[in-house]
Amino acid sequence: MSRRAPRYRAQLTCTITSHSGNHALLVCRSRDISNVGVALDTEASLDPGTRIGITVMDPARGVAIEMVGEVTRPLGGQQAGVGVKLLEPPDDWGALVAMRARAATAGGEAPRPRRMRVLVVGDDHRRRGALHLYVTSGWDVRFASDLEGAAEALHDFKIDAVIAEHDLGDPRWQPILSEAKRAQPDARRIVRGALHGPAPIAGPLVHRFVDREAGIDALLDALTADLGGSGAHASE
């Protein structure tokens, strides 16, 4: 992101994908924007020189702006982040920056509280199906596809919760949440999938089971509910 270009504070939902395809890497928020770049608030590891796809939601017009960018440098501040230089940004991006520039002249944007950091683990098909849910959540989300990817993310990404996108009868969520319990024991551990009946009682490994058909409110309740001293029932 160019230090010479005027920058404007903007907390926008950004979906980051690999440059070569639609493989979702993470969902985060922008810190500020300019005509030629964007600063992202994220603790995910993105090395300088990495080419990424960026989809930014323009809340005023309800459109998604798709761009390609190159990570330029890590950012300082209260939250970790990276600067990204945009490669041939479209006209829609220029219109969004111009709108934010006018808002800054009129008084700017009020600061928001720290966002919840969530690791979502599931295969590509499941993650694509749930992507809209996580984009609209406003959380700082990182994705992993399997146990190995989850272990790597748990090593370098401090989280508030890990969500295994697997059905209740799928054995893959158990080693994933076991690794999460070992690596980050204070993080909330959730299974979100098809329950095929009443939700089971949570136990030492799983704090909550959430039915995949339930919406964002059920998932938010699972992430924030006071569990007390005993296992809690899942949101349905």
Q: Does residue 39 have a pLDDT over 90?
A: yes
In a domain, 229, yes or no: no
Domain boundary at 85, 105, 125, which?
A: 105
Q: Which residue has the tokens 């309740």?
A: 221
Q: What is the pLDDT of residues 89-125, one digit of tens each?
A: 998 898 889 888 887 776 655 445 567 889 999 988 8
In a domain, 131, yes or no: yes
Domain boundary at 42, 70, 105, which?
A: 105
pLDDT of residue 23: 63
In a domain, 183, yes or no: yes
Structural domains counted in the chain:
2
Residues 124, 81, single domain; the answer is: no
Residues 91, 141, single domain; the answer is: no
Residues 128, 208, single domain; the answer is: yes
What's the pTM value of the predicted model, to 2 decimals?
0.64
Mean pLDDT of the 54-64 span: 82
pLDDT of residue 71: 93
Domain boundary at 105, 136, 162, which?
A: 105
Name the 3-class secondary structure at 101. Answer: helix
DSSP code of residue 204: S
Residues 70, 148, single domain; the answer is: no
CA-based radius of gyration for the chain: 19
Give dist(CA 137, CA 139) in Å, integer.
5
In a domain, 111, yes or no: no
Residues 197, 126, single domain; the answer is: yes
Q: Are residues 60 and 99 in contact, defined by beta-carbon separation less than 8 angstroms?
A: yes
| Strands (E) located in 1-62 | 8-9, 13-18, 24-33, 37-41, 51-58
Task: State the residue range of the domain holding 173.
Answer: 117-224
Percent of the chain surpassing pLDDT 70:
85
Structure tokens at 40: 């992202």
Residue 4, φ and ψ in degrees, nearest 5: -85, -25
In a domain, 236, yes or no: no
pLDDT of residue 70: 95
Most confident listed range (48-62, 80-94, 99-113): 80-94
Residues 53, 126, single domain; the answer is: no
What percentage of the chain's residues is helix, strand, coil (to nearest 5)? 25, 35, 40
Mean pLDDT of the 10-17 span: 89
Q: What is the pLDDT of residues 130-162, one digit of tens each?
A: 777 787 777 888 888 999 999 998 998 889 999
In a domain, 234, yes or no: no
| Domain harbouring 91, CATH code | 2.40.10.220
Distances (CA, A) of 178 to 125, 154, 182, 217: 23, 12, 6, 26
Q: For residue 83, what is the enclosing H or E element?
A: strand 81-87
Q: Are residues 206 and 194 in contact, defined by beta-carbon separation less than 8 angstroms?
A: no
